Structure 1
């Protein structure tokens, strides 16, 4: 009886503070998807702005429904062969008590399911940046539904689900370096190799139409990422979540500096696009590692990611794959960097006692990280390419050439992002009423 009393006393009880904290973190992660929409929307040409916004927003609808129906069960249910999970009580999120706690924590299962839902929404939205200007919206919506079912839900189980092969191997992924960023980056590469390049790739200028919109999106991503990273410790009161919060800021700042320094040396200027991209590369790289490294390690990871991701985005021109908005260069490369550097910078004083090479731990953890990184990369790349090929050969993934040239916003959404002809003046009215001579007008337009 005494033993039973002791066990009951030691059992976790619901914490209102941790529950509230995790609900806030869930909302922060949800905000990252609209933030990503702005980030991508500003990076494309005017004629594709709305399409980029919609490619992120539709994920909020589709993935939410699938997560409730079966996604949560596949990702976090009872292990089935180290590959998927399943719990029939969670289908439709039914048969769950309002105060039922998630697996040894002090937060309700509903709260954990909601938090993880936001990760599932964001991940396929990341892929969309690689496909800008050329994909049918209906085909993209179908791809999201198939991709989260075949790729994201199982991979989340591998990495975070009890019994998943990467989880049992000891692969460290605090908040999604493999399950989110490598997963999305590898998928993006697989899809773009199937659907091909944009018309005019490497010939026509394809500059961002709104750098302020890009910076706004980057700021929202940075803000939301604190919930993404610090929240992944689920409110446990041992300081690890606080360490992750600090490392998120530190690595991101270092990556901005690293990217801009490389850009100045390589191209001669500090650009706003570089600052925004550098911030995202640092956020990506620290995501798997921030609970295992010190702030000094976070500085190193951020600097390395900022420089190497800046170098990686140029590979598409050398190798000839059209990664429109650098999903491969930032998310795939950044995720690999952050995941592998755990094997060197893990201190053994954070989320676990595992130490990396620089802290006397040898290379054991590095090889485990390699297994997780390349296992997820290979599966996501192949499965995503196959799904894209099936859709491409049946429904067709791309809009027509005329629609792509004229603008995918008008073709797919019957709207345009900006109205330049409304009351109060616009480009057309100004040009029509200008006293500038025709020859001079051509110079102004050019």
Structure 2
């Protein structure tokens, strides 16, 4: 990071990045609704809480040391930044990063870190201890997200500056790390009670669609905001994001119609997200044609990938692996095929005469980041499991985490005197009064 004391922020770029930062932050509540609608009624609030508490936890870690380690001057051979800006030291209102205030740039990057951690919760829905999640999120953010972000976007990061792989808005640090980490935690936790036996359908599809809509809306800030300016590159990334979301949706529905005979609302939401995931790393590298193909490829492939968990026996509750890991890999690799000089400023993919060189660089980055995220997350999960237990008890899982952990329910039916008796020890004072009324 270069801070220029004499530089002045561009007002147009600053205004756009302020809006983009708010858009990306909105994605986490959108994700909460998306995930909340996909789980059963007994764990809706727990799912929402896992996303919302990630906002608080990651923010504290990021402001304390995360930003400095990710975007501070490199001190580790392209592996990590220093602690010069720990606690945001030295980054006053006059500090500028490019054409925007450094504090705004740091906040924009914070919103990426927040949603990446929250994404992992979908893979382990219905069965993780909330207390364990509170420990996992800050540790994971420091040990996985921060280093990978430095590799990809930080000053001197080895993936960008030594390997030469491209990632415009987060295929590696966001999509692939969350997907690989979700897979690791799935394996540590084991499957939900009744996995492959009981129906575990989404309980509220309108909520899922609303969440997907908010995610799509926020994704324009995610991708176009990564241009860090109100300029033509931001406009191209914006259009590519829209286009890939559309072809992702259509591709998924095509597969559903052909395979199952029914295009579904869940498929539409999932397909749009798959297309958006895939275009994230490539939106600043490919033309509109490339964006359409990237989105379509993700919609088709991810619609099949979400069923792999039943064959391979890992319980990825809400398809984080099938959508974010697989979609992130597709979008990152296809940069090596569809990258255009007009977008990248020099790098060209295979389709435009660049040969296999860039594809090879993208492949190396994908393999290293996925392996690193998986192995470190698996280790973190095992340590937390040994220290305090990672999985909720069988009774909590059976009854539902909303009531047993949070002493609340999203819906009144079936609880508080209207269904099976519930132990008063897990009710709040207000609920005890209500249940006795």
Matches within 5 A, 1:338-349: 338-349=331-342
> Could you state the TM-score of these two structures normalised by the residue count of structure 2?
0.92
Does residue 35 of structure 2 align to residue 40 of structure 1?
yes
| Distance change (3 Å), C-alpha of 1:54 and 1:346 | same
User: What is the aligned partner in structure 1 of residue 201 from structure 2?
Assistant: 207
Is this contact kept in 2: 1:409–1:416, CA < 8 A? yes
Is residue 257 of structure 2 the alignment partner of residue 264 of structure 1? yes
Aligned to 2:140, which of 128, 143, 147?
A: 147
Matches within 5 A, 1:82-101: 82-88=78-84, 90-101=85-96
- The corresponding residue for 2:357 is 364
- Give the alignment partner of residue 151 of structure 2, picking from 136, 158, 171: 158
For residues 427 and 139 of structure 1, what CA distance do their matches in structure 2 show? 31
- Per-residue deviation, 1:12: 5.2
Structure 2 residue 215 is matched with structure 1 residue 221: yes
> Secondary structure at 1:173's aligned position in 2?
coil
1:354 to partner: Cα distance: 0.6
Deviation at 1:164, TM superposition (A): 0.9
**Count of aligned positions:** 412
Q: How does 1:158-197 map to 2 (within 5 A)?
A: 158-168=151-161, 169-197=163-191
Deviation at 1:95, TM superposition (A): 2.1
**Structure 2 gap segments, 5+ residues each:** 1-5, 420-437
1:29 and 1:227 in contact (8 A); partners too: yes
Report the alpha carbon displacement of residue 351 of structure 1 after superposing the two structures with TM.
3.0
Give the superposition deviation at 1:419.
1.5
Looking at structure 1, the residues matched to 414 and 355 of structure 2 have their Cα atoms a distance apart, in angstroms, of 65
TM-score computed with the length of structure 1 as normaliser? 0.91
Specify the alignment match of 2:435 in structure 1.
none
Please name the residue that 1:436 is paired with: none
Q: Secondary structure at the match of 1:84?
A: coil
Match of 1:14 among 9, 13, 19: 9
RMSD: 1.5
Kindly provide the CA deviation profile for residues 31-84 of structure 1, in whole angstroms up to 9, marking residues without a partner as x.
Answer: 000000000000000001001000100111000011110000000001022111
Quote the Cα distance in structure 2 between the aligned partners of 1:303 and 1:97. Answer: 44
Cα separation, 1, equivalents of 2:363 and 2:11 = 39
State the distance in 2 between where 1:96 and 1:318 align: 51
Structure 1 counterpart SS, 2:81: strand
